[in-house]
Amino acid sequence: MKNKLPGKIKVGIIFGGKSAEHEVSLQSAKNVIDALDKNKYEIVLIGIDKTGKWFLNDESQFLLNMCDPQLIKLNNENSDEVTLAPESKGTLITKIKEKSVKSIDVAFPILHGPFGEDGTIQGMLKLAGIPFVGAGVLGSAVGMDKEVTKRLLRDAGIKIGKFLTIRENHIPDFNNIVQDIGLPFFVKPANMGSSVGISKVNSEEEFSTAIEEAFKYDRKILLEEFIKGREIECSVLGNENPVASVPGEIISNHDFYSYEAKYIDENGAALEIPAKLSGEMIYKIQEASINVFKTLECEGLARVDFFVTNENEIYVNEINTMPGFTKISMYPKLWEASGVTYSDLIDNLIELAIERYESELRLKTTFK
């Protein structure tokens, strides 16, 4: 799709956020900003701190300790606190002086986890009348909640592992859990990503510690059966007619693909791209990825994660509707291996955002 906007497109990069995945978002934002073609785009940086406040940042100094994933930090010094009002059409207003300071044509919310990937900011951007990259309100909310994701996939006949859902007011007996889903099993917050709050449980003692940790991040947690198999991931791109990348494989050097393995330990995992799979299995993974993407009402982009057993059974693990965009993240690497450069990938995502927005503008909003 050709850009219909005159001149440079003003892209609002929204990053940080009130989430345990705040630091991951900072890393992703840095890489996206570096990849944006400055001849095509005017970059407007909107950093959200850990309390949820929005700031208009200067590109030259928006991050502190940017090369250290453990110490990276949003720099809000000398930055204006801004807000976005419904029907503002992309105009940012300072909170103190209440004057317009910047406007954006399209938003790229590089936010991971709650308040960014769960439909909340997507709804805000729709009310403000701004095209945005990624899934809409429904796809984002569904993709964020692991329990809802699994129920929809199960009802669609897509193979998933056994799981149980628990809340703080009702913790089932450990032996009953083992009888239902086996041992070991995983404990996960229902609405969190980047492996935050996840534990692998091998005993009743570990179970108590694991649920305590998971409940720090969510009021609802999942218990998932351990599936012995290869961890395969596939990237999806598109709106109504999505396409899938070549699959890749995660070979973790940790007990499982934890937050540390993903973002802290440079030797935490090896990424094999493309994955060593038969042509038939590659096709099945790609078809399954697109099926999952459509079933969950996703748009723009997503990464679908699978387990492939020794018997070549394919189980969907989960979907990520705003996957990491760091220099070691699987989503852009899979597209690069499929012939789409990082810069072209960003172009495609922005075009898809504008395309969807223009399509929605053609819909009637009145009865007569």
Task: Residue 304: name the closest of 121, 159, 162 by CA.
Answer: 159
Q: Which residue type, as a one-letter code, is found at position 68?
A: D
Q: How far apart are CA 64 and CA 79, in angstroms?
A: 14
Q: Which of 1-15, 70-84, 219-233 has the lowest mean pLDDT?
A: 1-15
Cβ-count burial of 34 within 10 angstroms (0-12 exposed, 13-18 middle, 19+ buried)? exposed
Q: Which residue type, as a one-letter code, is found at position 67?
A: C
The DSSP element (H or E) to which 225 belongs, if any, is strand 220-225
The DSSP element (H or E) to which 116 belongs, if any, is none
Q: Is the pLDDT of residue 24 over 80?
A: yes
Q: Which residue type, as a one-letter code, is found at position 164?
A: L
Given a contact cutoff of 8 angstroms between Cβ atoms, the answer to whether 302 and 156 are in contact is no
Domain ranges of the chain: 9-132, 143-159+228-354, 163-225
pLDDT band with cut points at 50, 70 and 90 for residue 2 = very low
Q: How far apart are CA 189 and CA 167, in angstroms?
A: 10
The pLDDT tens digits for 294-335 are: 999 999 999 999 999 999 999 999 999 999 887 778 999 999
**What is the pLDDT averaged over residues 156-173?**
93
Q: Using the structure block, give the residue that is written with the tokens 């693909």.
A: 257
If you average pLDDT over every residue of the chain, what do you get?
A: 89
Dihedral, 156, 195, 167, 123 alpha carbons, nearest 10: -70
Percent of the chain at pLDDT exceeding 90: 65
The DSSP element (H or E) to which 306 belongs, if any, is strand 300-308
Task: Residue 176: name the closest of 210, 209, 207, 212 by CA.
Answer: 207
Cβ-count burial of 367 within 10 angstroms (0-12 exposed, 13-18 middle, 19+ buried)? exposed
pLDDT at 63: 80
The answer for residues whose C-beta is within 8 angstroms of residue 57's C-beta and 6 or more apart is 45, 46, 47, 74, 75, 76, 79
Q: Is the pLDDT of residue 19 over 70?
A: yes
Q: Is the pLDDT of residue 3 over 60?
A: no
Report how far apart, in Å, the C-alpha atoms of 312 and of each of 232, 278, 309 are. 12, 10, 5
The pLDDT tens digits for 181-219 are: 999 999 999 987 657 789 999 999 999 999 999 999 899
- 9-132 CATH, one of 2.30.42.10, 3.30.750.24, 1.10.4080.10, 3.40.50.20: 3.40.50.20
**For the ranges 83-92, 98-107, 207-216, 266-275, the one whose mean pLDDT is highest:** 207-216
Task: Residue 191: name the closest of 289, 301, 320, 298 by CA.
Answer: 320
CA angle 140, 133, 75 (to 5 degrees): 95
Given a contact cutoff of 8 angstroms between Cβ atoms, the answer to whether 345 and 238 are in contact is no
pLDDT at 5: 54
Cβ-count burial of 112 within 10 angstroms (0-12 exposed, 13-18 middle, 19+ buried)? buried
Task: Residue 186: name the closest of 172, 200, 204 by CA.
Answer: 200
Q: Hey, CA dihedral for 248, 269, 134, 41, is it positive or negative?
A: negative
Structural class in CATH, domain 163-225:
alpha beta
- Angle at which helix 120-127 crosses helix 137-144, to 10 degrees, equals 170
Given a contact cutoff of 8 angstroms between Cβ atoms, the answer to whether 55 and 80 are in contact is yes
The pLDDT tens digits for 327-366 are: 778 999 999 999 999 999 999 999 999 999 999 988 888 8
In eight-state DSSP terms, residue 368 is: -
pLDDT at 229: 94
pLDDT at 99: 61
Q: How far apart are CA 301 and CA 359, in angstroms?
A: 17
Tokens describing residue 94: 């300072």
191 against 258, higher pLDDT: 191
- 143-159+228-354 CATH, one of 3.30.470.20, 3.20.20.20, 3.20.20.30, 3.80.30.20: 3.30.470.20
Q: Is the pLDDT of residue 1 over 70?
A: no
